[in-house]
Amino acid sequence: MRSSHDMPFGAHLLPGGNIRFRLWAPAVRQVELILKQDDGKKTILPMHSLADGWFQIETSPPQAQPGTFYHYRLDDALDIPDPASRANPQDIHGPSQVVDATAFIWQDDAWQGRPWHEAVIYELHLGTFTSAGTFAAALQHLDYLVELGITAIELMPVADFPGARNWGYDGVLLFAPDHSYGTPEDLKTLVQAAHARGLMVLLDVVYNHFGPEGNYLHAYAPQFFSDRHHTPWGAAINFDGKDSRTVRDFFIHNALYWLEEYHFDGLRLDAVHAIADNSRPDIVTELAAVVQAGPGSTRQVHLILENDANIASYLQQGTLAAQWNDDCHHALHLLLTGESDGYYADYADQPTRHLARCLAEGFAFQGEPSAFRAGQLRGEPSRHLPLSAFINFTQTHDQIGNRAYGERMARLAPEKSLQVALAILLLAPSPPMLFMGEEFAAATPFQFFCDFQGELASTVTEGRRREFSGFRAFTDPAALASIPDPNDLATFEGCKLDWDCLNQSRHQAWLEYYQRLLALRRTQIMPHLPGIHGGAGFELIGATGLIVRWGLGDGTQLTLLTNLGDEPMEGPLHLDGAPLYLSQVDLSGFLSAGRMPPWCAAWFIKETQL
């Protein structure tokens, strides 16, 4: 099988070998196509001006062919890469390269994806997942992920970014896999190999801004940006103003491109709360509908959101599978570490209740005022939504990397407490997500890193340190200066996972613990999840004791009893069902006597009698 997504812009190989080049450049008078030949010579071809700011030319071999490098020249003054470049091997300022998407022969014809209730997600960053930091190197760990119990890999953004290293959220060429990771064919090989092992592959995409370097759109298509909306990264993308139809199509085609040409099983839409769009349907709703009517109509395709606003109505439309549940993370993080700075302050009053509401109803904030946001109401009711719509976690790239030193949870929380927290998240009905390396308590941090140059590099480094200047731990200038420089190569290198540490007993023990819990999830819980609804019941016992009871999709009852504090809790504890997991061997005796020891968790399951 050969796959290529046809779109109205970029370089597209036509039947017979001709190539159509198309650019939307409404702010310029003329555009020329600059082709770089193998002998170093350049061919300059004037592009035809079409209606509504479009320019187009069709070439025939040997003028251009797969592998040919090309630029667009604007008004005889500025050479730019193709904003829809499929490959940019010489980085974001260099020429684009013609790619024949149909040259890759897919062998995953029988793959139809996996149902969402089977999702166990593993978020990873390609550059630090392995020492080589490439698509090819990541492929070597796929069997390991299957043995761990993972069913879905979530790649942090791979769109071409400035320099040789980046988290991925500074991408500017959104159709080109970054050259530091490998070629488009290498990425397709990774996806295909994952499918052969039963693994879904999800891709993180950024539709709320472009990176701060290498974005030439302002020079020839300022209509891409809005002068009415702003974001933390500057001018907002124009999704609802004049000429926004072309802009919306650009991002919708980007989503379809990754799903169709690369066979991804889904996308995670980054920070949709930062997308300013007053139109109806808004871009998120329209994109989801187009995806489900397209590739989602023939195979399982899952769209997930990051949305700090907790807009539950997105999730009830049936076209979006789930959202990262930061509420769950924040409440649990506070319980594990005692940290209550910043947004954690919103959960400091009753962290156990906030966690209980997440486990039973989805969001903790469902329209309540947020003190961190100056009393602004946050969220919408979510109790009616299926619990499969909420992805829970103890760690993500954000929650680790946005710390000053990038410490992982195994460095911040006591081992016993963290194990209890994991027993809750990995066995609860909502889909769990791991961040790479957490399963073996990786000692390496995950810090913020990038590869900017000149004034931008200095601005980013200074801004990173200024961000923490208000924290008590960094009132000393020497402490502030100790925060790693994001642009220093050593910062990036220090974040690479050390796989050799699995030869040490402590790290191996952590891995085996995750494997046991995920095996329990796969065999004892997952078969009962299809059809599960929201609105489970919960009870609080004292300040840190908690009971949650879920009715699963087939009527099976799942019950959690847990104490997330340092003091024992007492209360009437009804043990209904067979023990599924006990955090300590003598726990049944304590529970039968109406007592929950400090930091404990017990799971019980009662299957429907047929």
CA–CA dist 325, 231 (Å, integer): 22
Q: Which two tokens stand for residue 499?
A: 């796989």
Candidates 306, 326, 361, 439; catalytic one = 306
- Facing residues of 539 across strands? 547
Q: Which residues 6+ apart lie within 8 Å of 350 measured at CB?
A: none
Check the CA dihedral 22-23-26-29 and report its sign.
Answer: negative
Q: Which two tokens stand for residue 57?
A: 């030319």
CA–CA dist 370, 345 (Å, integer): 9
H helix runs in 282-325, sequence order: 283-293, 312-315
Let me know if 270 is a catalytic residue.
Answer: yes
CA–CA dist 470, 55 (Å, integer): 50
Let me know if 462 is a catalytic residue.
Answer: no
Question: Whose CA is closest to 254, among 158, 398, 124?
Answer: 158
Asked if residues 70 and 154 have their Cβ atoms less than 8 Å apart, the reply is: no
CA–CA dist 609, 432 (Å, integer): 28
Q: Which two tokens stand for residue 517?
A: 């819990």
Asked if residues 33 and 25 have their Cβ atoms less than 8 Å apart, the reply is: no
Asked if residues 423 and 546 have their Cβ atoms less than 8 Å apart, the reply is: no
- Helices 283-293, 244-261: inter-axial angle, 10-degree rounding: 40
H helix runs in 470-562, sequence order: 477-481, 489-493, 505-520
CB atoms inside a 10 Å sphere around CB 604: 21
Q: How far apart are the first and last CA of the chain?
A: 45
Outline where DSSP puts E strands in 178-224.
200-205
CA–CA dist 209, 433 (Å, integer): 25
Place of tokens 């550059």: 127
Q: Which residues 6+ apart lie within 8 Å of 542 measured at CB?
A: 565, 569, 570, 571
Candidates 118, 270, 286, 398; catalytic one = 270
- Facing residues of 370 across strands? 376
C-alpha triplet 431, 437, 440: angle, nearest 5°: 95
Whole-number CA gyration radius for the chain: 25
253: three-class secondary structure by DSSP: helix
Please report, as a single letter, which amino acid is at residue 244: S
CA–CA dist 404, 245 (Å, integer): 40
Asked if residues 394 and 422 have their Cβ atoms less than 8 Å apart, the reply is: yes
CA dihedral 252, 258, 264, 268 (to 10 degrees): -50
CB atoms inside a 10 Å sphere around CB 285: 17
Question: Whose CA is closest to 83, among 274, 190, 218, 239?
Answer: 218
Question: Whose CA is closest to 364, among 372, 350, 374, 373?
Answer: 350
Instruction: Specify the DSSP element, H or E, that contains 563.
Output: strand 557-563
The set of catalytic residues is 270, 306
